[in-house]
Amino acid sequence: MSLESIGHDLVTFVRAHEVWAAPVVFVLAFAESLAFISLLIPAWGALVAIGALIGVTGIDFWSVWIAGSMGAALGDWLSYWIGLKLERRVYHIWPLSRHPEMIPKGEAFVRKWGMAGIVIGRFFGPLRAAVPLAAGIFAMPIWRFQIANFSSAFLWAFVLLKLGDGGGYVFTWIWETGWPALLRFFTGT
């Protein structure tokens, strides 16, 4: 079973069982933000697809947004904690054991960008879980990390869900308006 089919099955499940939207989004965002696991579960596509369901099915945006934000923030918090507790022993855990050059790059990124680096890292797949881990390894002050972590988690979840929600509205508009109207719109005839 491929990741694409799993994502499709999750979206189908949420469409059929709207009450599970918030818990599913929480788990996806948590996994997407957790060091080491995020490489195996690229969930952002499923989050965008679930966002597309919000406008067309009546799923409550607020509960899904809060669930996604909290899942992402807690995933990063745990990644930070792992880095803080294991420190340089984390170098021996896959994938860092196979890519030791990632640690100095992560350190340079965290030291250069500080809190802004946590926010920037949230929006870029390879950095999403690595930056909090590096922040923990190099002992970024917890209050600075958490301010950047929670604010970026709420922004990230909002952007992904609204990206899907907006795409859902566009798709619905195209479907209901019809292709001839769309063609006239783009060709000006």
* Tens-digit pLDDT profile for residues 20-73: 888 999 998 998 888 877 666 767 777 888 888 887 777 888 999 999 999 999
**Please, which residues have CB within 8 angstroms of residue 93's CB and are 6 or more apart in sequence?**
36, 86
Percent of the chain with pLDDT over 90: 26
Rg for the chain (alpha carbons), in Å? 19
Q: Residue 49 has what pLDDT?
A: 80
* Tens-digit pLDDT profile for residues 80-129: 999 999 877 877 777 677 777 777 777 788 889 889 999 988 888 777 77
* Spacing of C-alpha 78 from chain mean position: 15
Report the distance separating Cα 188 and Cα 151, nearest Å: 43
- The pTM for the full model equals 0.79
Domain ranges of the chain: 3-187
Using the predicted structure, report yes or no on whether residue 169 has a pLDDT greater than 60.
no
> What one-character DSSP code corresponds to residue 96?
T
Report the distance separating Cα 48 and Cα 64, nearest Å: 12
> What one-character DSSP code corresponds to residue 34?
S
Q: Residue 10 has what pLDDT?
A: 65
